[in-house]
Structure 1
Amino acid sequence: MVSFTIEELPIPSRPGASGWADFAASLELQNAVEAEGYGTDELTFTPEELLPGYHHQEYDPRRLYAVRVGDHIVAGARTDAQAEGGDDCVWLSLSVHRDWRRLGIGSALAAHVEGVAAAEGRTTQYVYTVSPDGPGDRLAAPTGFGSVPRANPEVRFLLGRGYQLEQIERGSRLALPLDPAALAKRFTAASSTAGPEYVVLVWDGMTPSRWRADIAVLYTRMSTDAPSAGLNEPEDVWSVERLVSYEQKHQASPRTLLTAAALHRPSGRLVGFTELSVPPDTRRSVSQESTLVLREHRGHGLGMLVKLANLQHLAERHPGRPAVTTFNAEENRHMLRVNEELGFVPMGYEGAWKRVVS
């Protein structure tokens, strides 16, 4: 039997500071396992890009674990929680290097992080993990949209640990560049569909102070308005203070955040938005982050409008990127149709799993 140790890793204060080598090695392992599952490294974030997210502990408690065999990190796990609301919930991710599987390492690491979470009262446990296509029988999501191969090792692993499949997420890719004339024509058409009551605003980096309260509302509504199937994930409340803290820390990341938001002229409030996270290396793909239109303002094509605006913004400010990647719940047919009309094509699927520890 292989001898290994499990430990929680300290979070370094900056790249190169104490603990950086282990932090970077653990995240690079996670990237490698994800790239294996999707068959591409386009979803990769560097340790430097991810570090600011670990410095937001007062609002987003996040912990990192590693498994060592000798001096080598061969597996890792991350736990994410909420500082307020959803006190019994935790989101778990686990990665084992392909050369160290089927040795009991994954089971021991899962048991460890699940146990730590449960001891803290976080007994509702969620896992999102990629499921590559495979032969044989399939396990369907209870939403009626999407399935995963039953014989896949990650599926058998999670079922064996008492998790239930609740939802399928589709990863999609939009090849760039887009024809600027066609993009402008589509934006004009989308603006006409939305009508004169709505206008689009765009900005880079931090939210202008005038719009912080509205963006905080939109972030909060992301946790309640987006399809969540039987996951029943808790409301994640954002205040202006939390938004400013998050954006200030994000400024330390090499990535740039581009935002397009829909302004409802009569009320003077932002009622929809979308974000793109742009890496500094032009050879790497852009990540589509949050997109939401408030329920009470749907039916005006605002999702399409803000996405087109941000793609124009991207082309103007950060040209030369190869693609944009995004994720959507498979039952979110409206947003998937918007993405498909833009030219996104499927690149892989994730299962969203849940278990409740008694």
Structure 2
Amino acid sequence: MVDSVGVEITRLSPDDEAGCIDAVAVQNAGTKLDCPEMLDTTPRGFANMLRYGWHMDPEQAYLARDTDGTAIGLLGVSLPTYDNLNQVWIDVQVHPDHRGRGVGSALIEYAEQVTRDAGRNVVGFGGYDLPKAEAFARRHGYEQKAIEVNRRQDLDGLDWSRVQSLYDGAVARSSGYELVKITGALPDELLEGMVAVTESINDAPKDDLDMEDDVYSPERLRAYEEAQVKSDRTIHRVIAREKATGELAGHSTITVERERPHIGIQNDTAVSRDHRGHRLGALLKSAMLLWMRDEEPALGLIDTWNAESNDHMISINEQLNYRIIARILAYQKTL
């Protein structure tokens, strides 16, 4: 499709190696200007998201090219398949050299048409906490609903005695629990229990976002594992289990890229409601770090995301010397 500002917008295939390289070049150029410490995307990682998504629910991408074929804009589209089936989440990127000429507007209008074509009516996206991003959202009728914060832990400079102290204090408060460490797929006997534990993430703040709770099932957990493995990421889990009952009480999950083994992503940390008040969140996160020090010696940083209003988890992160990398404003619009 050629739009009114003279750019051609076409859907990108994960098998289009040159197209994925162009897409990542656009995205990383924008990131370098808007938030220099944000992690870059690699062409391989980008293509894997188009193939597998996060739970075998592939994302879509649309590349905007100028009349001479130069890639100048990128639209990412995620259509939830397990819950929130009325929604589409998008990401709009314009190369810094081509901003101010309507490319971003063309992409967001295209995204809204994709949303309508999919039979959905709510569009959401995240933008850096910058005046130009806020103005862009307002201009297109999007309302700010939440603030997400990206924090990073630099392991090379971490005070491990502080981690050990947090762990020891949490162990003293959680004597009724034991830890289970798993790399790779969950054993079948833990799968049902992990569904309930994973659902605990729904207690995290959503602020004003128009969102239903996430829906989990054994099939979704297996799909998550499959997508991570196919994307060449290693999954590490630390699970808290109540000794008296054998009930699973909480978990913390990190994935490590094999392409860039110095990068880890904190996917989830959650404690079931019935087991809170025993310092399990601090236990899980500190135990994970101590384990990763030995298990993933190349690991240099771990990124995590939290709602800015999630005071409890943020307090644990701050005790572990996480620092803020970016504030992302989440917007939504009903079509």
Match of 2:23 in 1: 26
Distance 1:219 1:25 in 2: 36
Q: 1:220 to 1:35 in 2, by over 3 A?
A: farther
- The structure 1 residue matched to 2:83, chosen from 82, 85, 93, is 85
1:327 to partner: Cα distance? 1.4
Equivalent-residue separation in structure 1 for 2:103 and 2:128 (angstroms):
19
Gaps of 5+ in 2: none
Structure 1 counterpart of 2:170:
190
Distance across 1 between alignment mates of 2:271 and 2:293: 23
Report whether the alignment pairs 1:174 with 2:153.
Answer: yes
CA distance in 2, matches of 1:256, 1:276: 8
Letter in 1 for 2:167: F
Aligned length: 329
Partner residue of 1:4?
7
CA contact (8 A) 1:67 1:75 kept: yes
Structure 1 residue 180 displacement after superposition: 4.2
Determine the C-alpha separation between the residues in 2 that align with 1:203 and 1:259: 5
TM-score (norm 2): 0.90
Share of identical aligned residues, percent?
A: 27
CA contact 2:200–2:273 (8 Å) conserved in 1 = no
Aligned match of 1:44:
40
* Structure 1 residue 61: Cα displacement: 4.9
Distance in 2 of aligned mates of 1:230 and 1:282: 35
C-alpha distance after superposition, 1:132-178 (max 9, x if no partner): 4xxxxxxxxxxxxxxxxxxx111100011111111111221222133
Q: Using the TM superposition, give the Cα deviation of residue 229 of structure 1 relative to its aligned residue in structure 2, in angstroms.
A: 0.7
Corresponding position: 1:54 with 2:32: no
* AA partner of residue 207 (structure 1): L
Within a 5 Å distance, the mapping from 1:97-112 to structure 2 comes to 97-112=95-110
When residues 356 and 210 of structure 1 are mapped into structure 2, their CA distance, relative to the original with a 3 A threshold, is same
Find the counterpart in structure 2 of residue 208 from structure 1. Answer: 187
2: CA distance between counterparts of 1:323 and 1:295? Answer: 30
What residue identity is the alignment partner of 1:170? V
The code of the aligned residue for 1:103 comes to: R
Note closer, same or farther for the CA distance 1:179–1:281 as it changes in structure 2 (3 Å cut): farther
State the one-letter code of the partner of 2:9.
Answer: I
Q: Which residue of 2 aligns with 1:117?
A: 115
Contact 1:225 1:294 in 2 (8 A): no
Q: CA 1:267–1:50 in structure 2 vs 1: closer, same or farther (change >3 Å)?
A: farther
Q: Aligned to 1:207, what secondary structure does the other structure show?
A: coil
Q: Structure 1 residues 67, 28: closer, same or farther in 2, change over 3 A?
A: same
- The correspondence of residues 307-326 of structure 1 with structure 2, limited to 5 A, is 307-326=285-304
The alignment partner of 1:231 has SS state of coil
* Gaps in structure 1 of 5+ consecutive residues: 13-18, 133-151
Written as runs of structure 1 = structure 2, the 5 A alignment for 1:1-358 is 3-12=6-15, 19-41=16-38, 43-56=39-52, 60-69=57-66, 70-132=68-130, 152-177=131-156, 178-194=158-174, 196-222=175-201, 224-280=202-258, 284-357=262-335
Q: 1:197 to 1:50 in 2, by over 3 A?
A: farther
Q: Distance in 2 between matches of 1:256 and 1:32?
A: 28
Residue 229 of structure 1 aligns to a residue whose secondary structure is: coil
Alpha-carbon separation, structure 2, partners of 1:214 and 1:50:
32
CA distance in 2, matches of 1:267, 1:33: 51
Show structure 1 runs of 4+ deviating over 6 A.
none
Cα drift, residue 282 of structure 1: 6.4
Partner of 1:227, secondary structure, is: coil
Partner amino acid, structure 2, of 1:125: V
Once the two structures are superposed, residues 54-75 of structure 1 have per-residue CA deviations (whole angstroms, 9 ceiling, x without a partner) of: 3347863521111011222211
How far does residue 181 in structure 1 lie from its aligned partner after superposition?
4.6
Over 3 Å counting, the alpha-carbon distance change for 1:119 and 1:186 in structure 2 is: same
Q: 2:163–2:320: 8 Å Cα contact kept in structure 1? A: no
Report if aligned partners of 2:73, 2:103 keep a CA contact under 8 Å in 1.
Answer: yes
CA gap 1:116/1:281 in 2 versus in 1, 3 angstroms: closer
Give the Å deviation of 1:27: 3.3
